[in-house]
């Protein structure tokens, strides 16, 4: 895609700090560096996000993720890592080429906060929601 910044990086039109590349994927340091070593893993095929990804592209992309995550963690001496993917603007996606963030973590005070809300479960509602999702998976 001509106006996609990640496609331009893949094509070498924009410089990047590459950490891994093969025929199917590219990994490079995010220019924001949320924490030192913040890396992006992208498929070379232009696809908007995971919601639009084929099983083949997903397989190729996610197959590289564990090895890359271990390499980033080892190289940065991080004690933990968040692996994050945002799909669509409401979820925080700002570049509309699929990408996975690998964010090394160093301490509770590194400026990143992810909190999950805990509610008393409504098991009837959960069962209905699970059934609806199962129907969609089957189609």
CATH number of 5-112: 3.30.428.10
Please write the tens of the pLDDT for every residue from 42-62: 999 999 999 999 999 999 999
Is position 99 annotated as part of the catalytic site? yes
Report the b/e string of 67-97 with b at 16+ CB within 10 A. Answer: ebbebbbeebebeebeeeebbeeeeebeebb
Task: Supply the pTM of this predicted model.
Answer: 0.92
CB atoms inside a 10 Å sphere around CB 109: 6
pLDDT confidence bin for 118, thresholds 50/70/90: confident
pLDDT confidence bin for 69, thresholds 50/70/90: very high
Given the residues 99, 101, 119, 125, the one annotated as active site: 99
Averaged pLDDT for residues 126-139:
92
Residue extents of the structural domains in the chain:
5-112
């Amino acid at each position: 895609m001509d106006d996609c910044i990640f496609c331009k990086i893949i094509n070498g039109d924009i410089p990047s700090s590459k950490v891994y590349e093969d025929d199917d994927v590219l990994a490079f340091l995010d220019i924001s560096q949320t924490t030192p070593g913040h890396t992006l893993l992208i498929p070379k095929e232009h696809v908007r996000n995971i919601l639009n990804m084929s099983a083949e592209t997903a397989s190729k992309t996610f197959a590289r993720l564990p090895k890359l995550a271990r390499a980033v963690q080892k190289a940065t001496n991080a004690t933990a890592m968040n692996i994050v993917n945002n799909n669509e603007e409401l979820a925080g996606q700002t570049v509309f080429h699929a990408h996975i963030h690998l964010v090394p973590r160093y301490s509770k005070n590194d400026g990143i906060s992810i909190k999950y809300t805990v509610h008393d479960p409504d098991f009837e509602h959960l069962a209905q929601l699970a059934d609806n999702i199962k129907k969609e998976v089957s189609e």
